[in-house]
Amino acid sequence: MRPECLYGLFAPLTSLTGVGSRFAKLYAGLCGDKVVDLLYHLPVGIIDRKRKASLRQVISGQVITVKVEVCEHQVPPSRKVPYRVLCKDNTGEITLVFFHAYQDYLQKALPVGETRIISGKAEFFSGKLQMTHPDYIVPESQLAEIPEIEPIYPLTAGISGKMLVKSMRSALTKVITLPEWLDEALQKREKWPAWDKAIQAVHAPKTIADVEPNNPCRRRLAYDELLANQLALALTRNAQKRLAGREIKGTGKLREKVIACLPFALTNAQKRVGEEIRADMASKWRMLRLVQGDVGSGKTIVALLAMLTAVESGKQAALMAPTDILARQHYAGLKPLAEAVGVTISLLTGKDKPKEKAETIADLLSGKTDIVIGTHALFQNKVEFKDLSLIIIDEQHRFGVHQRLNLTQKGYLPDVLVMTATPIPRTLALTMYGDMDISKIDEMPPSRKPVKTTVIANNKIEDVISAVKRALDTGAKVYWVCPLIEESEASDMAAAEERYALLNALFPGRVGLVHGKLPPTEKDAVMNNFAHGNLAVLVATTVIEVGVNVPEATVMIVEHAERFGLAQLHQLRGRVGRGSKESHCLLLYSAPLSETAKARLNIMRQTEDGFKIAEEDLRLRGAGEILGTRQSGMPEFKIADLAIHGDLLAIARKDASVIIETNPNLEGERGDALRTLLYLFSEDEVFRTIRSG
């Protein structure tokens, strides 16, 4: 149950003065539907209205507050023409401009012959000073109503700055003193105020420094959010660790046979991560481990060896991929190795024919199938296993903590292994996967050749097409990636369909097109024809980003590379360099480049280390877009910025760890305060998770 002291903060926005159901919907889209959501919507700047200038002193573009005499109303013939009001002081003149104005309102607000205080941005237009829609128009007696410093908030259509400030004032009346959850020594060292004082202060900035992310009040609130996140993960992990598992040890015989069949030696990183997984499976607690490995680092073999440990123990294993094409690719790669050592392996996807699907499901229930590769179809109600002891989830950023726990219902105390080929910065790994043990395959196989990366201006497209022709003449295959599906008047970006038409005219019958709007069956058919058939050039949007394996593809061309994030560019480059031939990645850009875009492209030229690239991506773009598109498994922080507050995350993780060690049930005065913190940042689902196991 949410503590009673938070009832006011979690009241609907309609409880605020002046916020009806229509505005509440707009606010919900902007920041959330509760009072506390509005309070966490922080200002991004300030308007300084302290400048009480005369009209002669005005600099164009400045916000000024000035006393004027109203001289004349210039009433337009219709509301389509701007309404103008001429005003003056003893140093000059100014015209107030209003669009779609109501004459009655303006004549009452600005009576001819009277003085008024106006405040807003003044600009020169055709040599004359004017102010369009002043922010404030008040008689001299009401000068105190114009705030000298006003916070600027991110807005949405239908919500004005003035309205949001008014709503925020109402929300701030609901702020109360809450029990302190911070470690006393930390609070004293950082000189942080109490939570209620910090919230009041961030919404009443006095200088531009007060809206900076490292302002002490903002840092305090960012730390609160990070501590709630880390504590929720630590509680979940602690509950998971307490759940008994099964000791799955295996004999090692199947693994040894498969390793002997491989045409290459395992890297030291693969061996190390394999040992970490085996130790987890052999323990009496359930495994919950994330394996991070760069593109081509050999995660799939590590996964197979883990599954063979389960099979050696007389149990079953399942590997779930996010798409049908990836599941089939895993199946095609693992089937020969599994069958070579006498292990039965099956494929189960939503596209299987009913008869095939029924047979596969029957074999899983009888135990005839040892290992199954599939998509979400594996977790349908009708799919049952004889004895599932290991679940491996591939490329699943989309799964949050609680969804990962729900997947364990298909087996009896199964171990869970999550794999990702998207290197994740340490700070993000701690917030996305902090409930898990983390392993890194941070070494590439010696056979993996580096990809030569070149940055080229878009105006040299003819040279690029010539290079494609030369590559095709050698039997190579080429990816050509565009950021949009169809040409848009609002964008100068290359469109996949337009590029496809051009290349298909040059190389008829050898060019394919895939994008997100294609039906899955058509997409798979084109991909298969590119991998195994006549197609030699694949024009695509980023649907080919993760997992697709075509060893003959040696050229990756990315148009408008400056529009892509580093993580996306790295994943795209990872589609080539998978065979024995030298591979190339051509990054085409349109000038002029921003400083951030220049930095991104330089990093791509300098390194192929996905973990370095991920850290740079976080630094350049912030956490919100780090995976290219926001994934539902990633926590959305309202206050904390992981690119700036990484130091606070480290402190919060350590604090959460100490709390779990010393007070795992959150008892006593600080325990109660910490429970309030979890509810305050909507991390209360952790209590249900712990209760349900």
Identify whether 362 is part of a domain.
Answer: yes
- Residue whose tokens read 């649907």: 543
What is the reported pLDDT for 544? Answer: 65
Residue 406 pLDDT = 59
417 and 510 fall within a common domain: no
How many domains, in total, are found in the chain?
Answer: 3
Ranges of residues in the chain with a pLDDT under 70 are 241-242, 396-407, 484-494, 543-548, 621-635, 688-693
Both 432 and 477 in one domain: the answer is no
Q: Is residue 560 part of a domain?
A: yes
Domain-ending residue, one of 146, 172, 200? 146
DSSP string computed for 323-364: SHHHHHHHHHHHHHHHHHTT--EEEE-TTS-HHHHHHHHHHH
Considering the domain architecture, whether residues 377 and 428 belong to the same structural domain is answered as yes
- pLDDT at position 629 is 33
Q: What is the CATH number of the domain that holds 371?
A: 3.40.50.300
pLDDT tens column, 223-277: 999 999 999 988 887 877 667 789 999 999 999 999 999 988 999 999 999 999 9
Residues 521/444, Cβ–Cβ less than 8 Å? no
Domain range enclosing 410: 268-441
Domain stops at, among 607, 638, 666:
607
Instruction: HSE, CB side, 13 Å, CA atoms: give it for residue 424.
Output: 27
How much is the pLDDT for 525?
86
Q: Are 474 and 411 contained in the same domain?
A: no
Residue 345 in any domain: the answer is: yes
Instruction: Return the residue matching tokens 């090692």.
Output: 252
Structural tokens at position 682: 């909507």
Same domain for 468 and 413: no
Q: What is the pLDDT of residue 621?
A: 64
List, as one string, the DSSP characters of 605-673.
Answer: HH---HHHHHHHHHHHH-GGGTTSS--TTS---SS--TTT-HHHHHHHHHHHHHHHHH-TT--HHHHHH
> Other CB atoms closer than 10 Å to residue 452's CB: what's the count?
12
Spatial separation of the C-alpha atoms in residues 551 and 580, rounded to whole Å:
8
Q: So what's the pLDDT on residue 523?
A: 83
Tokens of 248: 């799955």
In the numeric block, which tokens belong to residue 474?
Answer: 């050698």
Q: Using alpha carbons, select from 263, 262, 258, 267 the residue that is nearest to residue 445.
A: 267
- Residue 479 maps to a domain: yes
Count, residues in the chain: 693
With respect to residue 348, please indicate whether it lies within any of the assigned structural domains.
Answer: yes
Same domain, 417 and 281: yes
| One domain, residues 472 and 420 | no
- Report which of 345, 686, 329, 691 is spatially closest to residue 528, judged by C-alpha positions: 329
Same domain, residue pair 330 and 464:
no
How far apart (Å, rounded) are the C-alpha atoms in residues 526 and 529?
5
Domain membership flag for residue 633? no
- Tokens at 645, concatenated: 């507050």
Residues 490 and 565 in one domain: yes
Q: State pTM to two decimals.
A: 0.68
Best CA proximity match to 325, nearest among 41, 104, 158, 529: 529
How many Å is the maximal CA-CA distance in the chain? Answer: 99
Strands 128-132 and 477-481 come out as: unpaired
Q: Is residue 40 in some structural domain?
A: no
**Three-state DSSP state, 314:** coil
CA 237 vs CA 411, 427, 560, 693: distances in Å: 19, 17, 42, 11
Instruction: Tell me, yes or no, whether 347 lies in a domain.
Output: yes
Q: Are 30 and 160 in contact (CB under 8 A)?
A: no
Q: Residue 375 has what pLDDT?
A: 87
CATH at 134: 2.40.50.140
What residues does 416 pair with on adjacent strands?
A: 288, 391
- Quote the CA–CA distance of 8 and 32 in Å, as a whole number: 15
Q: What share of the chain is helix, strand, coil (3-state, %, to 5)?
A: 45, 20, 40
Of 190, 199, 399, 452, which Cα lies nearest the Cα of 290? 399
* Amino acid identity at 635: P
| One domain for residues 431 and 318 | yes
587, 460 in Cβ contact below 8 A? no
User: Last residue of some domain: 553, 586, 607?
Assistant: 607
204, 44, 42, 67: which is closest to 136 by C-alpha?
67
The DSSP symbol for 244 reads B
CA distances from 266 to 72, 87, 494 (A): 86, 81, 42
CA-only gyration radius of the chain, Å? 31
Residues 112 and 83 in one domain: yes
368 & 469 share domain: no
